[in-house]
């Protein structure tokens, strides 16, 4: 039934892809190959993350400009406010607006280790949303946390924080990745019940490196369910099988989400295209080729005819 209903989604699903600025020539090649491979899927936008260190900031700008100049894609820079002055942020926003960028993912960013237990930050993401809106009428996406942001005192506080970001002008929230789909669905319901009416776009992370995920998920407060531990067990030295498992897990996840009415998906690509391409394919997101309709006969495999 799930597979059947997916065919009816053709043309109705929006996807966006997230990349990060590469830090070597080899990774640069991988990134551009991935961008080219995914471009044909006509994503709504592609976003590029923003790091705390100055060098990474420059790299974000460079990748955004290159996507703008060399592809048909809509590039969307991430921007963080932690450790930056208001003047600096205004300057960056003005530059983006002048160069034709109309959409920004506005974030606070992670606090440097030495500041984590000391003073509260000068700016939160909501302040950045307000600052950007004061510069120009940007479209703004913000972050949402179905399993609660690690620094939030409780879930309700975090939800109110999201509402503040939306009330300040954000028109979309992109979620932290998650594996417990029920948690996301309950969070989406709670957002609606709290008067947050923007799309809470699920962030989909195809997991190819399970041990790295375990390190990262504890920092981000994301639950890795027992069934995932069992699935990846014994595959530490078997990247090919891990890839197949990763695609399967993510395809199952998007199928359930699509059945629950989700029509926008954001992919944490980690600068790779193969898994994201396959997952999009399963959602009917394809290169200008309509998929066959449910009332048509399934095409017969050529080997069967021969
Ligand atoms: P905020 O919305 O400001 O919330 C941060 C925390 O502060 C929450 O716990 C919130 O409840 C709490 N809070 C809010 N207001 C107050 C207040 N007044 N007093 C006390 N507590 C308060 N990081 C990067 O460095 N670069 C990126 O490009 C990047 N991209 C991301 C993309 C997505 C889709 C997501 C989900 C995360 C991304 N991150 C990125 C990570 C993000 O920067 C961190 O999760 C960061 O710790 C919080 O950012 P935020 O925008 O959610 O912050």
Q: What is the pLDDT of residue 306?
A: 42
Is the ipTM reported for this complex over the cut 0.95? yes
Give the closest residue (by CA) to ligand 1 atom 35: 143
- Within 10 angstroms of residue 290's Cβ, the number of other Cβ atoms is 9
Which helix (H) or strand (E) element contains residue 203?
Answer: strand 199-204
DSSP code of residue 293? P
Q: What is the pLDDT of residue 119?
A: 65
- Ligand 1 centroid, distance to 214 Cα (angstroms): 20
Name 142's bridge partners. Answer: 173
- Ligand 1 centroid, distance to 238 Cα (angstroms): 34
Phi/psi at 78 (nearest 5 deg)? -85, 150
Parallel, antiparallel, or unpaired for β 14-19 and 75-80? Answer: unpaired
- Nearest ligand 1 atom to the CA of 47 is 28
- Which residue ranges of the chain lie beneath pLDDT 70? 1-2, 4-7, 52-55, 113-119, 289-306
Q: What is the pLDDT of residue 122?
A: 85
- Ligand 1 centroid, distance to 110 Cα (angstroms): 7
Q: How far apart are CA 53 and CA 117, in angstroms?
A: 20
Q: What is the pLDDT of residue 288?
A: 75
- Mutation pick for ligand 1 pocket among 92, 107, 127 (CB with most ligand atoms within 8 Å): 107
Phi/psi at 175 (nearest 5 deg)? -85, 155
Output the pTM of the full model: 0.93
Q: What is the pLDDT of residue 54?
A: 60
Q: Which residue in 4, 17, 71 sits closest to 49, CA to CA? A: 17
**Is 206 in contact with 275 (CB distance < 8 Å)?**
yes
Q: How far apart are CA 21 and CA 35, in angstroms?
A: 12
- Structural tokens at position 283: 């959602």
Question: Does residue 197 have an active-site annotation?
Answer: no
Q: Which residue in 218, 156, 150 sits closest to 187, CA to CA? A: 156
Using alpha carbons only, give the angle 214, 216, 221 rounded to the nearest 5 degrees: 95
Q: How far apart are CA 188 and CA 174, in angstroms?
A: 11
pLDDT tens figures, 25-65: 999 999 999 999 999 999 999 999 998 656 677 899 999 99
pLDDT tens figures, 66-85: 999 999 999 999 999 998 99
Q: How many residues does the chain have?
A: 306
Integer CA distances (angstroms), 169 to 41, 112, 160, 193, 247, in order: 29, 27, 14, 19, 35
Which helix (H) or strand (E) element contains residue 152?
Answer: none
Q: How far apart are CA 242 and CA 208, in angstroms?
A: 6
């Amino acid at each position: 039934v799930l597979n059947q209903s997916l065919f009816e989604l053709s043309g109705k699903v929006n996807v966006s892809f997230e990349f990060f600025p590469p830090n070597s020539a080899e990774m640069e090649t991988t990134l551009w190959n991935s961008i080219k491979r995914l471009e044909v899927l006509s994503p709504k936008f592609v976003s590029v993350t923003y790091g705390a260190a100055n060098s990474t900031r420059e790299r974000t700008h460079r990748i955004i400009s290159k996507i703008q100049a060399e592809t048909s894609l809509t590039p969307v820079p991430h921007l963080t406010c932690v450790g930056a002055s208001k003047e600096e942020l205004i300057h960056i926003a003005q530059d983006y607006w002048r160069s034709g960028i109309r959409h920004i993912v506005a974030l606070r960013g992670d606090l440097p280790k030495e500041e984590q237990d000391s003073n509260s930050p000068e700016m939160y993401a909501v302040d950045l949303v307000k600052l950007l809106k004061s510069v120009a009428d940007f479209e703004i996406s913000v972050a949402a946390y179905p399993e609660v942001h690690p620094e939030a005192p409780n879930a309700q506080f975090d939800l109110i924080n999201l509402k503040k970001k939306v009330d300040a002008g954000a028109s979309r929230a992109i979620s932290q990745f998650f594996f417990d789909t029920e948690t996301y669905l309950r969070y989406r319901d709670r957002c609606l019940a709290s008067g947050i009416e923007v799309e809470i776009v699920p962030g989909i992370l195809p997991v190819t490196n399970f041990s790295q995920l375990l390190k990262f998920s504890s920092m981000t407060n994301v639950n890795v369910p027992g069934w995932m531990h069992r699935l990846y067990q014994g595959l530490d030295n078997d990247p090919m099988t891990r890839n197949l498992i990763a695609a399967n897990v993510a395809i199952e996840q998007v199928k359930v989400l699509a059945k629950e009415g989700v029509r926008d998906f954001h992919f944490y690509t980690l600068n790779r295209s193969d898994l994201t391409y396959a997952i999009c394919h399963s959602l009917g997101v394809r290169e200008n080729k309509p998929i066959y309709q449910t009332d048509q006969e399934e095409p017969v495999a050529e080997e069967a005819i021969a």
